[in-house]
Amino acid sequence: MLDVLLPRRCLVCGAAATHLCAACRDGLPRIDPPWCDRCGAPTEWPVQRCRECSGRRLAFTRARAAVAYDDAVRKIVAGWKERGLRRLADDAAAIVVERIPLPEADVVTFVPADRRRQGERGHHPAERLARALGERWQLPCRSLVVRVRETERQRGLALADRRRNVAGAFAARPVTGEVLLVDDVYTSGATVSAAAAALRASGAAHVNVVSFARAVRTRG
């Protein structure tokens, strides 16, 4: 009855469908090789470090994302994060599994939510994505990272300010082995690197990062 009164429409094209129609789903911009081996940014040829991450101390071993953060993906993420369309986490997880090989991992965890923003949204997108990926990859999902102080919104901050904003913002519960850290969107890598640093300090051998989308600048 609800679908009759309020028919679902694709967030990208507006067609009457689920929140993401098959055509738009298949058309989401893939992030394919060549890429930076460290941060996963698209490059003109394979490199160990690109201009985006060269010279930076990154606490994670590798980062990979399924799709580039273009206008279509922005609409999906906005619906998922700001409009409470929680089922999109399952769609995002399915796309990630299709496009990203399973990294070495013993456990899946996620970047923790800012309590105020989670209260506004009523859910935490990164956690829902991590749990959906854990089910698909048959890995345990645990809440390992905690925020030890509140931070400003990263959106709109310069890169150096992003790093300072999240420096020391996380702690982690004791953990061993290979950890897969999940976030919904990779923008500059500052947040996942800070969370990965906390995991490494708590015993993780390596931390690999997976996200649904990432901001793509020019190819390095």
Q: Do the bridges between strand 145-147 and strand 170-172 make them parallel or antiparallel, or are there none, so unpaired?
A: antiparallel
pLDDT digit string, tens, across residues 61-92: 999 999 999 999 999 999 998 888 888 999 99
Label residue 123 by pLDDT band (50, 70, 90). Answer: confident
Considering the domain delimited by 30-214, tell me its CATH architecture.
3-Layer(aba) Sandwich (3.40)
The answer, yes or no, to whether residue 209 has pLDDT greater than 90, is: yes
CA distance 95 to 143: 23
pLDDT (tens digit per residue) in 28-55: 999 999 999 999 999 999 999 999 899 8
Domain residue spans in the chain?
Answer: 30-214
Cβ within 8 Å of residue 143, ≥6 positions away = 109, 110, 112, 127, 173
> pLDDT value at position 7?
60
Q: What distance in Å separates the CA atoms of residue 196 and residue 175, rounded to the nearest whole number?
A: 12
89-92: long-range pairs with CB below 8 Å, 24+: 89/125, 89/128, 89/129, 89/132, 90/132, 91/19, 91/20, 91/25, 92/66, 92/129, 92/132, 92/184, 92/212
The mean pLDDT value of the chain amounts to 90
Give the pLDDT of residue 84: 83
Structural contact between residues 212 and 65, judged by C-beta atoms closer than 8 angstroms:
yes
